[in-house]
Structure 1
Amino acid sequence: MRKTAFSALLTFLLLFSFSISAFAEPQSKPNGPWIQPNQEVKLESLMSPEQLEEKLHQINERARDGRMDLEVVGHSATYEYPIYAVKFGEADTDNPKVFIQTQIHGDEQLGTEASIDLIQQLAMSNNKDIVEILDNVTVWFIPMLNPDGAVIFDTPNGQSKQRQNIQTWDPAEYGLDEGTSAPWYYRPDSVSGEMGFDVNRDFHPHLDLELSPETADLIPSVSSQPGVFATPEARASRDVFAELQPDLFIDHHHRYSNVVSEEDDSLNTLQVIAQVVNDDTMVSYDGVDYQLEEDSLNLSKQVNSLVYQSLQKGNSPFSAVSRYPEVNLPGTALGSYSMNGAAIMLYETRGQQHPYGHTGQKANGQYTKQSYIGLYETLRGFATGEVYEIDPEFYDEEIPYGSPSIGRPN
């Protein structure tokens, strides 16, 4: 019955057509959809922080049987928007625990849209698969970690959001000397020019770390070093992770346009990754050594493989999935949390939500649906135990690797 429903869903998705640009030597097949010359990009259809807050309260009021808890776990750096956590199930449980986080970068918003769709189903549906998930899995969401970056502003090229938060480096805020240099990931945003932090470089495996005169020597100058929790957004995520201690952490991002591999020029719709720190990377602090564990890495590979396999079923328009390039980034949320025993999965969905991005409104709906399918099938895989039956070697042996980048043909 589940397979029939899933096939029907994918058949429905095929009704979305890819627009093909006229192009002498296509870089990819299919060659699109792309933002066309002089096409005005409107972002109002994607949730603002105010709309997200309203939607979450609406869902919470209509949730069945007290299933859902809605909590404010922090506030953004400058505009002081509430950062919400949505909780289904308790942290103190023997059930598998999943933490789903989206929009750590303000211009990477489709994970928020997919998460809200899934939150609504978990809160309100009595479908037997949803009930099975709720009975067997604890799942918590932060559906918009960086609301400052999600604010729409106008540029000469159209509407945009920005990657970073909006925050001024003030050493006195942490009790530091006035001339203390900021972490390397504090800089002007590439689109807006506003100063702020790349929140996804502000994490440290030692979750109790606080930036202070005693820890000032840990302020990183290069990307291979962990962050220092300088931003309230990173601290909010850390606090949720520390409370839940999840078996799996999912972080949703966007990338520009790629093809699947050197051998396959299909236009890539998603890149995934199960490992973002090297096997031999170790971060030591206060007598504790943090390092990637084999068991959590194997579960990471099983989860990534499950999503890949789910998106290959039927006549799926989302079969052009590949592995993200190898990285070593202990200062990311994924890196820090994986060094604390959590399995991880990265979603790098095609398309940035700013004027230099590559997708328009029609594609946004497609890629939101792709993320929803991946997240839903992950929860179902834990509820049924299917995820544990997957050979971790599938990840390395069967998911294409490479994903050369390509540019717009216009």
Structure 2
Amino acid sequence: MRRMFSLFLALVMVMSVSMTVFANPQSKPNGPWIQPEQEVKLESLMSPEDLEKNLMQIKDRARPDRMELDVVGYSATYEYPIYAVKFGEADTDNPKIFIQTQIHGDEQLGTEASMDLIQQLAMSNNKDITNILDNVTVWFIPMLNPDGAVIFETEQGQSKQRQNLQVWDPAEYGLAEDTQAPWYYRPDSVSREMGFDVNRDFHPYLDFELGPDTAAYIPRRSSEPGVYATPEALASRAVFKELQPDLFIDHHHRYSNIVSEDDDRLNTLQIIAQVVDEDTVVSFGGTDYQLDEESLNLSKQVNSHVYQALQRGNSPFGAVSRYPEVNLPGTALGSYSMNGAAIMLYETRGQQHPYGHTGQKANGQYTQQSYVGLYETLRGFATGEIYEIDPAFYDEEIPYGSPRIGRPN
């Protein structure tokens, strides 16, 4: 069915919400932008308690034998359960996809989109959904960093936090008291911007354990892999090792950019298929970890498929471009790609803190954009359409070089 269920939902949302958002643009490029007097409330976005409640309700109402719900770890400080939602078995010949969201606590719309998709997969009898379930295995971690997702008040308003609130304690790993923390740790507890950036805590060697014998590998710069010091990274790693996915999707947020030097439309999404240089090698335990051509080509096919899906018809999601080139083997995307998984990064516009650039109305549109992209990815694997895409489309057709812009007010 070429006219997809997700596109219908997107158009419904556009008619009911987004038309008011994009009327009377406030700047060129047009917004929406947060206004100086505007107070942004974050209660409409899922808290860790809301997530747990919603997952339990979906599980209770799911069609028989469709969905498995597991606790794969606990957050560093508040000890919230970290849930994995599983559709299909790891031991299968079907394509296997791992979708992870909210590794940064203030980047939440991926959680909203993934929960909408989880509900459809668990409960819908739509033909496209049943075809996906028959032909694709998909597992989710819909909120990897629940500690960072907790709302707190600042002088500027409500906020969430990028880090995981964890305190560096060398003794926890059997290390000397004066052992320096990894570079991606912040000790500042006054502003609440403390803890680890979980998305720098990954290593291609998936059995890495931080301890006296590996203390020399604690990274001092972003080009070095992480050390799995956080329970959140360990939870993600456990799911990856169990599933051994063909594709890993990680959902993030970014500030405001325009599509390219020649296209001043405001980006709604940036995507990327490669976060590690092809000549980067990480050696550990007698094994060399390096990006391979097969998984990179599949990454480009997946990213191209989503880009094409978001351009169809009168879609409001056409302002998509490629994320800047990076070389980050210590990220989840980087480490997992060096273990043979294709990858896709979502960098949706807007972050959920007082200095973010979007409000509640735009959040609905951006959530739907991510839903459409994720849904179309699953459908594309179920039908085989993704494998028909020329990987060269990614490099040749998707705009690149999106300049960052500040809000006009």
* Short-chain TM bin: over 0.9
Distance in 1, Cα, partners of 2:356 & 2:4: 35
Runs of 4+ in 1 over 3 A off after TM superposition: 4-11, 19-23, 188-194
Aligned residues of 1:256 and 1:351 also touching (Cα < 8 A): yes
Partner of residue 384, structure 1: 383
Distance in 2, Cα, partners of 1:367 & 1:49: 21
Q: Which aligned pairs between 1:10-89 and structure 2 lie closer than 5 A?
A: 10-15=10-15, 16-17=18-19, 18-19=21-22, 26-28=27-29, 31-89=30-88
Distance in 2, Cα, partners of 1:252 & 1:189: 26
Aligned residues of 1:20 and 1:32 also touching (Cα < 8 A): no
Distance in 1, Cα, partners of 2:25 & 2:60: 49
Partner of residue 158, structure 2: 159
Distance in 1, Cα, partners of 2:219 & 2:249: 25
Distance in 2, Cα, partners of 1:158 & 1:275: 36
Partner of residue 226, structure 1: 225
Partner of residue 284, structure 2: 285
Q: Which runs of 5+ in 1 are unaligned?
A: none
Aligned residues of 2:109 and 2:363 also touching (Cα < 8 A): yes
2:239 is the alignment partner of 1:240:
yes
SS in 2 for 1:149: coil
Task: Give CA deviations for 1:282-328 in whole Å, capped at 9, x if unaligned.
Answer: 00001000000000000000000000000000101100000000000
Partner of residue 182, structure 2: 183
Partner of residue 351, structure 2: 352
Residues 271 and 124 (structure 1 numbering): CA distance in 2 closer, same or farther, change over 3 Å? same
Residues 44 and 4 (structure 1 numbering): CA distance in 2 closer, same or farther, change over 3 Å? closer
Distance in 2, Cα, partners of 1:237 & 1:8: 33
Query: Structure 1 residue 12: deviation in Å?
Result: 2.2
2:276 is the alignment partner of 1:261:
no
Query: Structure 1 residue 38: deviation in Å?
Result: 1.3
The letter for the 2-side match of 1:3 is: R
Task: Give CA deviations for 1:330-380 in whole Å, capped at 9, x if unaligned.
Answer: 000000000000000000000000000000000000000000000000000
The letter for the 1-side match of 2:212 is: P
Aligned residues of 1:247 and 1:341 also touching (Cα < 8 A): yes
Query: Structure 1 residue 66: deviation in Å?
Result: 1.7
Distance in 1, Cα, partners of 2:394 & 2:139: 25
Distance in 1, Cα, partners of 2:45 & 2:130: 29
Query: Structure 1 residue 389: deviation in Å?
Result: 0.2
Distance in 2, Cα, partners of 1:373 & 1:7: 7
Q: Which aligned pairs between 1:120-135 and structure 2 lie closer than 5 A?
A: 120-135=119-134
Distance in 2, Cα, partners of 1:36 & 1:115: 29
Query: Structure 1 residue 3: deviation in Å?
Result: 1.7
Task: Give CA deviations for 1:227-281 in whole Å, capped at 9, x if unaligned.
Answer: 0000000000001000000000000000010000000000100000000000100
Residues 155 and 7 (structure 1 numbering): CA distance in 2 closer, same or farther, change over 3 Å? closer
The letter for the 1-side match of 2:11 is: T
Query: Structure 1 residue 5: deviation in Å?
Result: 4.6
Distance in 2, Cα, partners of 1:168 & 1:321: 37
SS in 2 for 1:241: helix
Distance in 2, Cα, partners of 1:147 & 1:5: 30
Aligned residues of 1:162 and 1:192 also touching (Cα < 8 A): no
2:323 is the alignment partner of 1:324:
yes
SS in 2 for 1:315: coil
Distance in 1, Cα, partners of 2:370 & 2:87: 19
Residues 42 and 234 (structure 1 numbering): CA distance in 2 closer, same or farther, change over 3 Å? same
Residues 183 and 32 (structure 1 numbering): CA distance in 2 closer, same or farther, change over 3 Å? same
2:6 is the alignment partner of 1:3:
no
Partner of residue 113, structure 2: 114
Distance in 1, Cα, partners of 2:257 & 2:214: 40
Aligned residues of 2:282 and 2:288 also touching (Cα < 8 A): yes
Residues 179 and 213 (structure 1 numbering): CA distance in 2 closer, same or farther, change over 3 Å? same
The letter for the 2-side match of 1:394 is: F
The letter for the 1-side match of 2:166 is: Q
Query: Structure 1 residue 20: deviation in Å?
Result: 5.7
SS in 2 for 1:66: coil
SS in 2 for 1:64: coil
Query: Structure 1 residue 116: deviation in Å?
Result: 0.3
Aligned residues of 2:6 and 2:375 also touching (Cα < 8 A): no
Partner of residue 273, structure 1: 272
Distance in 2, Cα, partners of 1:213 & 1:251: 31
Query: Structure 1 residue 7: deviation in Å?
Result: 5.2
The letter for the 2-side match of 1:407 is: G
The letter for the 2-side match of 1:312 is: Q
Distance in 1, Cα, partners of 2:192 & 2:88: 41
Query: Structure 1 residue 189: deviation in Å?
Result: 6.5
Query: Structure 1 residue 4: deviation in Å?
Result: 6.2
Partner of residue 296, structure 1: 295
Report how many residues are paired: 406
Query: Structure 1 residue 21: deviation in Å?
Result: 6.5
Partner of residue 204, structure 1: 203
Q: Which aligned pairs between 1:395-406 and structure 2 lie closer than 5 A?
A: 395-406=394-405
The letter for the 2-side match of 1:261 is: S
Distance in 2, Cα, partners of 1:371 & 1:398: 21
Query: Structure 1 residue 37: deviation in Å?
Result: 1.1
Distance in 2, Cα, partners of 1:193 & 1:149: 10
